[in-house]
Structure 1
């Protein structure tokens, strides 16, 4: 009986360690859904003349914030951050994620409107409109 107990305990420890490592590796990866992958831009203009300013880029495993002369990507920038944690939720029409490093958490929420348009919910729980973004 004692041998069975020790064997059962050993098996439980082995499986709990391997699943804990698996969860840990998942918490350091980003997996944007295929419908959001690509470059998304804000639309600016007036009098019928519009320009598109690239704002975000989603790849298979990263998220980048774009500006006129540069880009900052989460995993690329946090390459050496041992405390990086990523939490994400994906549905057919919504992609939410937050990442934490050095005690700071940043959250994003995107809503799919169509295959070529999404909204960035910048001002959660406030009376401000979402940012419209168009696929480039």
Structure 2
């Protein structure tokens, strides 16, 4: 009985240690960390200039007062359906979410940095986006 109990405990330890806590270990194209999930907008004089929306598996760009949305997950899935192999290379930390979308011919890089629990900034500008 002791051997079975010991074996069970050993298997439990091995199983629990075998999966990584890394946010990047699944098959989603995008894996935004929890701290950035939600809608972030830059508003100037009460007009939405632009922003971003992050879900657990998606990245959406928001442009202009009419909030035109570009759903990157849908775009990349359509690219996959057409036979392409887009690659999303992510950097995920407690204060940074950056990724490069590589589609062979072209690549795009996005970087977001946590300023506070309700503010982020991008790597290419000094614009602060506020969580809605």
TM-score normalised to structure 2 length = 0.69
Out of 108, 117, 120, the position equivalent to 1:118 is 120
Give secondary structure in 2 for the equivalent of 1:79.
helix
Matched, 1:59 2:55: yes
Give secondary structure in 1 for the equivalent of 2:77.
coil
Q: Indicate conservation of the 8 Å contact 1:121/1:131, yes or no.
A: no
Q: Indicate conservation of the 8 Å contact 1:39/1:54, yes or no.
A: no
CA distance, structure 2, for counterparts of residue 71 and residue 51 of structure 1: 16
User: Runs of at least 4 residues of structure 1 off by over 3 A?
Assistant: 50-54
Q: Indicate conservation of the 8 Å contact 1:117/1:133, yes or no.
A: yes
Structure having the higher Rg: 1
The farther-off stretch of 50-59 and 84-93 is 50-59
Consecutive unaligned residues in structure 1, runs of 5 or more: 1-22, 123-128
Equivalent pairs counted in the alignment come to 102
Give secondary structure in 1 for the equivalent of 2:110.
strand
Consecutive unaligned residues in structure 2, runs of 5 or more: 1-23
CA distance, structure 1, for counterparts of residue 70 and residue 51 of structure 2: 11
CA distance, structure 2, for counterparts of residue 105 and residue 87 of structure 1: 11
Give secondary structure in 1 for the equivalent of 2:35.
helix
- Root-mean-square deviation over aligned CA pairs: 2.0
Q: Indicate conservation of the 8 Å contact 2:54/2:60, yes or no.
A: yes
TM-score normalised to structure 1 length = 0.67
Say if 1:52 and 1:71 are closer, same or farther in 2 by CA, change over 3 A: closer
